[in-house]
Amino acid sequence: MGTAQRLATFKRLIAHAREQIGLDLGFVLWDGSIVPADLAADAVAISIADEGAVAALIRRPNMETLSNLWVAARIDIRNGSIFDLVAQRPKVRTKKFLKSLDKRLLLETVLRFLFLPRGGPWPLETQPDERPSDGSPEENKKNIGYHYDVSNAFYALWLDKEMVYTCAYCTDWDNDIDRMQQDKLEIICRKLRLKPGEHMLDVGCGWGALSCYAAQHYGVTAYAVTLSEQQVAYGQEKIARLGLQGRVKIELKDYSTVEGQFDKVAAIGIQEHIGIDNYPKYYRTIQRVLKPDGLFLHHAITRPAKRDERTFRRKRAEFALLTKYIFPGGELDHIGNTVAMLERNGFEVHDVEGWREHYQRTCKHWHDRLLANYDAAVREVGTVKTRLWLVYLAACSIAFERNGVCLYQTLSSKRHRGPSGLPPTRADLYR
């Protein structure tokens, strides 16, 4: 079966498929031909770099195959982004679409490509299989290093000016990422009711933005810990640059080994890395280091609960790929379990606030900024890492928009008899 015949058959199939579902999306094939031939030059199109990519998808039509083809740029998007591609997605269900296809043409296409070499490269195939974290400081450090020790310069290309890498907060839906992250740091400090002279623990502190902000604007002494060596280096430089020595300290340390007593504890986006089986250790650690009258702010991504825990812990294919390629060892809680774990470990829950739509916008800002700085990112970390992060940020934004994942902030204190000491309303948060 010759190359020209394969190409002609494939073009007939995708033209037929476009007609069946009324798709406006075009295709640019490996020989430079376009389907449809009259596609506008500025129209969104999928480009396929070689016929081996088609062969690979026919033999293994799954997310792992598609991910490898995407990061290798063997499948790409012309004149648009992943969001543009998703917007073109047909409303027809997959089963109905497949039934509508010309079965003879489909079979002919499959047979022409089935035994072709799949070509290469396959950059993600060396990644170890995804598995939950055992919770040890050693494995935690390895997992954190994989994601966060990519390059500070890479993250600086698309994060806000303070390098905050957790869900931002929209006081207006149209705010830019710098304003959103500034407002997020402020609302955290207000929820914790920080006061001058207090000692705050910042676990999973990232590049140190919250600790520096709290010290500058609320007069606290902050102790921040992370397992990312590059984050510690950046944070220590920032502390010196801002003249915060003696008021902020950042160290390379596992959260579970922290000693001391603190008036307030912030855990902003650390639970996602801990693993469900290790939650008891996490909550016991916070209980151990928090002073009797202290406050604990827990901020974490969640998934909706299922009919039972066994079903909940069964990962969908796309989430398993996220933990395999982006966040090794990562798992998400559901908010019901978060509240239950807090109560089981001696906390009184005062407030639970959902930020799902805030995170949808945050991830969209990050994606768009990374895409705008694509060439610089490739120079810094390479094509594979850049394209992997682009699809991860877009997928997260879409998942938050569709309510497949959520983000909650939960404020609690140690449970004790008598008044909590909190104000009668939340008015102080929004002054």
Distance CA 420, CA 198 (A): 18
Predicted confidence (pLDDT) at residue 59 exceeds the cutoff of 90: yes
Ranges of each domain in the chain: 3-113, 137-430
Over range 32-57, report the average pLDDT: 95
Tell the burial category of 143 from Cβ atoms under 10 Å away from its Cβ (0-12, 13-18, 19+): buried
Amino acid at 39: L
Confidence of residue 325 (pLDDT cuts 50, 70, 90): very high
Distance CA 377, CA 363 (A): 17
CATH topology (fold) of 137-430 = Rossmann fold (3.40.50)
**Is the omega angle on the peptide bond into residue 90 within 30 degrees of 0, that is, cis?**
no
H or E element in which residue 37 lies: none
- For residue 6, what pLDDT is reported? 94
- For residue 41, what pLDDT is reported? 92
- pLDDT tens-place string over residues 346-401: 999 999 999 999 999 999 999 999 999 999 999 999 999 999 999 999 999 999 99
- pLDDT tens-place string over residues 383-395: 999 999 999 999 9
Which of 339, 343, 329, 335 shows the shortest CA–CA distance to 278?
329
Q: Which of 205, 212, 396, 406 is catalytic?
A: 396
Confidence of residue 20 (pLDDT cuts 50, 70, 90): confident
Taking phi over 0 as left and psi of -120 to 50 as alpha, with beta for the rest, 264 belongs to: beta
- For residue 19, what pLDDT is reported? 85
Q: Which two tokens stand for residue 22?
A: 């009324």
CB 54 within 8 A of CB 119: no
- pLDDT tens-place string over residues 172-227: 999 999 999 999 999 999 999 999 999 999 999 999 999 999 999 999 999 999 99
Distance CA 201, CA 225 (A): 8
| Residue 85 main-chain phi, psi, to 5 deg | -65, -45
Predicted confidence (pLDDT) at residue 1 exceeds the cutoff of 60: no
**Is the omega angle on the peptide bond into residue 61 within 30 degrees of 0, that is, cis?**
no
Distance CA 141, CA 430 (A): 37
DSSP 321-373: HHHHHTSTT---B-HHHHHHHHHHTTEEEEEEEE-HHHHHHHHHHHHHHHHHT
Is 212 catalytic? The answer is no
Q: Which residues contact 291 (CB under 8 A, 6 or more apart)?
A: 261, 262, 263, 414
Comparison of pLDDT for 349 and 132, the residue scoring more: 349
Q: Which two tokens stand for residue 384?
A: 């594979």
Share of the chain above pLDDT 70, in %: 99
Confidence of residue 316 (pLDDT cuts 50, 70, 90): confident
